[in-house]
Amino acid sequence: MRLRVASVVAVLVGALVACDANVAPAPSWSERVVAARRTTGDPPPLLVMLHGFGGDESNLVPLAEHLDPRFLVVSVRAPRTQRAGYAWFRLTWMDAGEIEPDRDQARETLADLRRWIEAAPARLGADRRRVFLLGFSQGAMMSLAVLRTAPERLAGVVALSGLFDDRLVTTRAADAAVARVPVFVAHGVEDRVLPIADGRAIRDRFQPVVEDFTYREYPMAHTIGPDEKRDVATWLTLRIDD
């Protein structure tokens, strides 16, 4: 079955997110929308895809055909230009191989992303109680940062080949609120961009807190492999009605 994909630039009105004139409106970001392939008459669950550093909104769209057909999928373009693509915030690779994030940019983008997520269900006609995030690489960093700061807006998080830097967030939600959000984390053991140690650090950070936590490792590099796609699809389907 061919996916119906719409490329749009979302133009939002501040009234969609808040009546208080002092609250900033949600950002207008380019996005690609894949309509739900199976509908029930009720608002569909929403899966928000966040691409990696240097990518764009088209990178993760092919995953949609492998996922539960009830999902309305929207893949969002990061707001900052980076080489031939886009980034959620600037990254600097240090001499020792460590990655240094631009924390000010990350916090600014995180605040914008939270507003975008708050406004998206009403704008797209989705169920605001069933909003899932799926992030790859830097997109996984953003997904976990939303989980740590605004878990009440999420029904689940999929973080693929990412890392978590607690310095990117300033105001943290209570662990009890984070605990109720199911989380799937996966990483390639042959990853040379973000080593497997980064995935295991996410596991060690969130597994003691999150009640429904799944961690997987795969024999692959910095990519999304076929076994991983299958496991993500199964995991999402089992939680779509929770």
Distance CA 173, CA 209 (A): 12
CATH superfamily of 10-239: Alpha/Beta hydrolase fold, catalytic domain (3.40.50.1820)
Measured in degrees and rounded to the nearest 5, phi and psi for residue 114 equal -60, -40
In this structure, what DSSP letter does residue 26 have?
P
Cβ-proximal residues to 83 (8 Å cutoff; 6+ apart), any chain: 54
Cα of first residue to Cα of last residue in the chain, in angstroms, is 27
β-strand partners of 87 = 80
HSE (CB half, 13 Å, CA atoms) of 143? 35
The residues that bridge with 30 in the sheet, in sequence order, are 9
Stated pTM of the model:
0.90
Tokens of residue 20, six digits = 């208080």
DSSP H helical segments within 169-210, as ranges? 175-179, 196-206
Q: What is the pLDDT of residues 24-54, one digit of tens each?
A: 787 889 999 999 999 988 999 999 999 999 9
Residue percentage of the chain with pLDDT more than 90: 79
Ramachandran sector of residue 232 (left: φ over 0; alpha: ψ -120 to 50; beta: rest): alpha
pLDDT band for position 18 (50/70/90)? very low
The pair of three-digit structure tokens given for residue 62, joined into one six-digit string: 């092919």
Q: What is the pLDDT of residues 96-109, one digit of tens each?
A: 667 788 999 999 99
Q: Which pair of structure tokens corresponds to residue 13?
A: 């009105």
What pLDDT does residue 190 have? 98
Calpha distance 70→147 (Å, rounded): 23
Return mean pLDDT, the chain: 90
pLDDT at res. 209: 98
Are 61 and 32 in contact, with CB atoms under 8 Å apart? yes
